[in-house]
Amino acid sequence: MYKNIIIAITTISCIAVFAGILKAGWLYTDEVYTSWYFSRGCQVGDKIYFVTTYRLMQKPKGLARFPDGGTSKGLFAKVLLYSCDTDGDNLRLCGKLETMQRGGNGTAISTIMQKKGNTLFIKYYGSNRLGEKVYRYHMFTWDMKNEIIKPITEIEEKRAVMNSMEGLWEVYRQESVGISSLKKKLEGHTLAEWKIPSPLDYVDKSADSFLDDLVELKGDRYYRDAIIQAHVDILTDDRIDELLRSIQKRKDSLEGYEQMKYKSIAADLEEKLTKLKNNR
């Protein structure tokens, strides 16, 4: 009896310790990292349709990195269908295709779209499943008239779509809007316009702490861009000058490879802060 009591107390203690570790943030980074990939664009009239995969995560640290580097903590992961005008304006989220099943880049770059009547057929590589290709691809339709997304799940229907798209990739590659060109058209849209969560939504910090993260180059460029975007109102000219001085001071304090690495990453940040100041 006493042995069982001791085991129960030990188990409860271990659970409490582990919960404390999670709460203290010892297993994952405070900063949220972004994985964001784009498909090519399919132009239909004066609209361009495209797919993005958007994932937010916290990277493992400390104990969570053992023994093989660890696994990131997923916060948000969706495959999304968008449209915009041919010049990139009037960005619109058509809807969610699905929660992401696998690596975002493979999904995005494998996307092929084909218009038939008022229906846009969407196909991308969405599974590592072995066997016939039809099982590996995820397929959807977008009803452009009624604005409805439907998944294609019936095998025979999927085979019919596969057959209709057989050999289409080369034509699609030549006629579609390239990824670099598409992303250039879409520059300047805010996360609110994209209708996706910001990495900052999952981070509990004060405004000053977020700005300190800029100087320390915490997170990735999406995290730092989100900080600038969310704090435009308090980023006065004086505050920007203060941040730029702090970045320069940090560069001067480093040496060798660490200085070179910091300079390389900070250059993009300095350019964006200077541009924000000059474009007021």
Q: What is the pLDDT of residues 38-77, one digit of tens each?
A: 999 999 999 999 999 999 999 987 665 555 556 789 999 9
Phi, psi of 82, deg, nearest 5: -125, 165
The β-bridge partners of 116 are: 119
- Ramachandran region of residue 188, left (φ > 0), alpha (ψ -120 to 50) or beta? left
pLDDT at 11: 46
pLDDT at 26: 75
* Mean pLDDT, residues 264-279: 95
Taking a C-beta distance cutoff of 8 angstroms, is the pair 40, 176 a contact?
Answer: yes
pLDDT at 22: 44
Alpha-helix residue ranges (DSSP H) falling in 165-255: 168-175, 179-185, 191-194, 207-215, 221-230, 237-253
In the chain, the amino acid numbered 96 is K
Q: Which two tokens stand for residue 188?
A: 């300047």
- At residue 234, does pLDDT exceed 70? yes
Phi, psi of 88, deg, nearest 5: 95, -5
Q: Which two tokens stand for residue 214?
A: 């800029």
Percent of the chain whose predicted confidence (pLDDT) is above 90: 65
Coil/strand/helix, residue 83: strand
Pairing of strands 73-85, 112-116: unpaired
Phi, psi of 96, deg, nearest 5: -85, 130
Coil/strand/helix, residue 144: coil
- Ramachandran region of residue 131, left (φ > 0), alpha (ψ -120 to 50) or beta? left
CB neighbour list of residue 6: distance below 8 Å, 6 or more residues apart: none
- 104 vs 55: CA distance, rounded Å: 8
Find where tokens 């924000």 sit: 276
- 169 vs 85: CA distance, rounded Å: 23
Taking a C-beta distance cutoff of 8 angstroms, is the pair 122, 141 a contact?
Answer: yes
- 223 vs 53: CA distance, rounded Å: 17
How do residues 155-213 score in pLDDT, each as one tens digit? 899 888 888 887 777 788 788 999 999 999 999 999 999 999 999 999 999 999 999 99
